[in-house]
Structures are given as C-alpha cells and as structure tokens.
Amino acid sequence: MDNCIFCKIAAKIIPSSVVYEDDSLLAFKDIHPAAPVHFLIIPKAHVSTLSDCDDEHVAMLGEMMRLVPKLAAEQGCGVTRDAQGGVTGGYKTQINTGPDGGQEVYHLHLHVIGGPHPWRGQK
C-alpha cells in the first residue's frame, strides 16, 4: 500500500525503534507511548483492520498473540510470579478497529502497553 505509514515502517522507508522482526511480523515502539512500555506488533503484509482478516490470516494472528508475552518480558513488563505463586507485572493488549474503535492507522496493529495500570489516564 503506497500511502500506508506502517507499510513504510515495515519496509524501513520510515525509521522506527524495532523490538522484534521476522519474515512476516515487525514490532516497534509507539512514537507516542501511553505508558513506560508501549510497542506495536504488525504484519509486514498490509491488512487494514482486524475486520478485514479471514481464514488466511488466522496463523498470522496467532503468531502476533504468541509474541506478546515474550516481547513484553523483554521490554520489562512481563508477568512474573513471586515465591507464593502470586502474579505481578503485566500489560494490556489492544487492537483498535475502525473509527468507532479509535483506529487511526489503517494497517492492522496490536498495541502492547505495560506499566502499573497503564490504561488509566488514556482517552
């Protein structure tokens, strides 16, 4: 997609702070972080929204989700367990879809937002 900013990021035409890359996915830090940790996972191939995904995208969506815990841990907001088995840390995952879903960039992306209660104060 010629005019898609995330396609340009995937193609390295626009620079970004990359946290992960493989043949089909790219993860990079959000330019306007909503919390101490805030990165986006995108497919390199253009898909506009979650609602444009069908059977051919199921594996890609699964790979995106499977990456989240690994990258969250690497970025410092992974879930950990204390000696008593209590859960600490964590993050929020979010896919904004369509205008009513607050989507601003029309290339599918999964937000990973970490830090203490990172969703508080978000619009």
Residues tagged active-site = 109
Question: Which residue, 11 or 80, is less far from ligand 5GP as judged by CB?
Answer: 11
58: DSSP letter: H
Binding mask 10-49 for ligand 5GP (x = CB under 6 A): ----x-x-----------xxxxx-----------------
C-alpha distances (whole Å) from 69 to each of 23, 81, 119, 123 are 19, 14, 18, 25
The C-alpha angle 26, 92, 23, rounded to 5 degrees, equals: 15
Q: Say how far apart CA 116 and CA 54 lie, in whole Å.
A: 34
Q: Is 91 in the site for ligand 5GP (CB under 6 A)?
A: no
Structure tokens at 120: 């508080």
Smallest distance, Å, CB 81 to ligand 5GP? 30
Smallest distance, Å, CB 53 to Zn ion? 14
Residues that bind ligand 5GP (CB under 6 A): 5, 14, 16, 28-32, 96, 102-105
